[in-house]
Amino acid sequence: MGLSERKEREKLELKNLILDAARKMLLAHGQDGLSIRKIADEIEYSPATIYLYFADKDAILHELMEMGFGVMNEYMKDSFKEKDPIKRIHSIGHAYILFGLENKDWYELMFNSDKPMKHIEKCCEDWDQGMAMFAFLTQTCKEAIEQLKIENVEDHILALHLWSSVHGLVNLSLTERLEIVQRNSSHELIGKTLDAIIKTIFRK
Amino acid sequence: MGLSERKEREKLELKNLILDAARKMLLAHGQDGLSIRKIADEIEYSPATIYLYFADKDAILHELMEMGFGVMNEYMKDSFKEKDPIKRIHSIGHAYILFGLENKDWYELMFNSDKPMKHIEKCCEDWDQGMAMFAFLTQTCKEAIEQLKIENVEDHILALHLWSSVHGLVNLSLTERLEIVQRNSSHELIGKTLDAIIKTIFRK
DNA sequence: CAAATATAATGAACACTGTTTAGTAAATGG
DNA sequence: CCATTTACTAAACAGTGTTCATTATATTTG
């Protein structure tokens, strides 16, 4: 038996060293500034070594994506606790947008890259954190619909309505399209729009 | 004077030859499959020659982006003619989504890439077609608000609500996030969601 | 303990990418 | 016909992800 406990630990340590360097590079220079060779340089190993711990660059990006959901959870954990479903939706929406605007590179990895989604079989396990979040939103929508006795509205359609709205707002802002059509502070505009959306949906 | 009429025409012809090869490559292999060197190969010129006609790759992508708005206009021209503002919004929304889903590479270039938007001074001229479209949507929203006598809703906020919703839906679909959270036909789901959004906004 | 084996790491190469520059060939103007 | 401008390109630079034969190290076995 060649795999002693210590060996296994060391193997994991180098893997984490790689991921840590990758994370720092992502935050410092974005996805474009993240390269295998630079990671190798940073941790003082050869580029080839990285391929002993990860299949390819996508595998690294994928693990970073999962870390991103951890960061996002920090933004949303208070919102999840909110008792009133409508207030909860409101709070989740604002937290989602704030996370997106303040963490462009995480957001890109989690919601815009199609790299980690290459194989549809695998992705349903891989994106389980995202799925769980959407399931929670759908549940919240169900509660809101029941509480306000809104008719002819399906919970999963409403959830998608909300998700696509905030996702659209975040993307329009991150790619600077909002700055183009509306010169003044887009951050404020986004908040106002989200408030208007929720007000529209839940008006009597 | 060295610049005869014929010379000028020939210069433009090569520029168009480059753009044409670029367009074909974009549609055939996506933005990742589009490279200066491959274009040069295709038109049987050296890569350096391309830099006599375009400052850099971004300049080519930028011109392609403008062509993209032409393609989009084809999808939307009938919607623009619609007299009733609410029906017009509905029609524009569906046309927008259809264009996005059927033209991933154009859409990416026009609405997701931040490459052509590097300089905020220039972009306001460069994205004038996008701005014009948004202005038209805002105008349509104004008409709809007046017709239905909806209170406490600003036209540009409503326009942004609509734009972000369809933009979000298109992006979620193009990056396969919809397929993950909802296994069945996302095309149908998107249509249903858009209908629900508009119904929600304009209900009495 | 030494030899055989298994593991870990790498140097160098491959096939790409965008971009620049110095130098060449051809067309034009005097 | 020669000088000058114009059009073009070969080659190089600095990157990228990835692979593989080879080497160095550590472990296990005879």
Query: Domain containing B35 — which CATH number?
Result: 1.10.10
Distance B4 CA to C28 C1' (A): 10
CA of B152 to C1' of D7 (A): 63
Both A92 and A173 in one domain: the answer is yes
Position B14 pLDDT exceeds 70: yes
Apex A93 CA angle, A91 and A99, nearest 5: 100
Q: What is the C-alpha to C-alpha distance for residues B49 and B70, in angstroms, rounded to an integer?
A: 27
Residues from chain A that touch B113, judged by Cβ atoms under 8 A, are 175
Mean pLDDT value of segment B86-102: 98
Judgement on whether residues A106 and A16 belong to the same structural domain of the protein: no
Q: Which residues of A touch B131 (CB under 8 A)?
A: 180-181
CA A154 to chain centre: 25
Tell me the C-alpha distance between B23 and B37, whole Å.
14
Contacts from B40-43 at CB under 8 Å and sequence distance 24+?
A: B43/B14, B43/B17, B43/B18
CA–CA dist A146, A110 (Å, integer): 31
Q: Are residues B100 and B27 in the same domain?
A: no
Do residues B97 and B67 share a domain?
A: yes
- Give the B-side interface with A, CB within 8 Å: 111-114, 117, 120, 123-124, 127, 130-131, 134-135, 153-154, 156-158, 160-161, 163-169, 171-172, 174-182, 189, 192-193, 196-197, 200-201
CB neighbours (10 Å) of residue A187? Answer: 13
Mean pLDDT value across residues B185-198: 92
Task: Compute the distance between CA of residue A186 and CA of residue A173 in angstroms, rounded to an integer.
Answer: 7
Residues B121, B165 share a domain: yes
B96 vs B12, higher pLDDT: B96
CB nearest A127 (choices: B157, B161, B180): B180
From A125-134, B138-147, B191-200, the region with the lowest mean pLDDT? A125-134
In this structure, are residues A86 and A148 in contact, taking their beta carbons and an 8 Å threshold?
yes
Residue B32 pLDDT exceeds 90: yes
Q: Which phi-psi region, left, alpha or beta, contains residue A184 (left: φ > 0; alpha: ψ -120 to 50)?
A: beta
Residues A141, A190 within the same domain: yes
Indicate yes or no: CB of A177 within 8 angstroms of CB of B130. Answer: yes
Picking from A180-194, B133-147, B167-181, which range would have the lowest pLDDT averaged per residue? A180-194
Nucleotide nearest A1, CA–C1', reads D28
Cβ contact B200–A117 (<8 Å)? no
Q: How many domains does chain B have?
A: 2
The DSSP symbol for B116 reads: G
Per the structure, the complete domain to which residue A10 belongs is given by 1-54
Q: Are residues A30 and A8 in the same domain?
A: yes
Bases of chain C within 7 A of a CB of the protein: 6-13, 16-22, 28-29
| Pick among B164, B182, B186 to test the A interface (most A CBs inside 10 A) | B164
Pair (A113, A162) in one structural domain:
yes
pLDDT of B11 strictly over 90: no
Alpha-carbon distances, residue B64 vs A144, B42, B70, B149 (angstroms):
45, 17, 10, 41
Q: Which amino acid is at B77?
A: K
Question: What's the pLDDT score for residue B204?
Answer: 73
pLDDT tens for each residue of B100-110? 999 999 999 99
User: Residues of chain A whose pLDDT is less than 50?
Assistant: 1-3
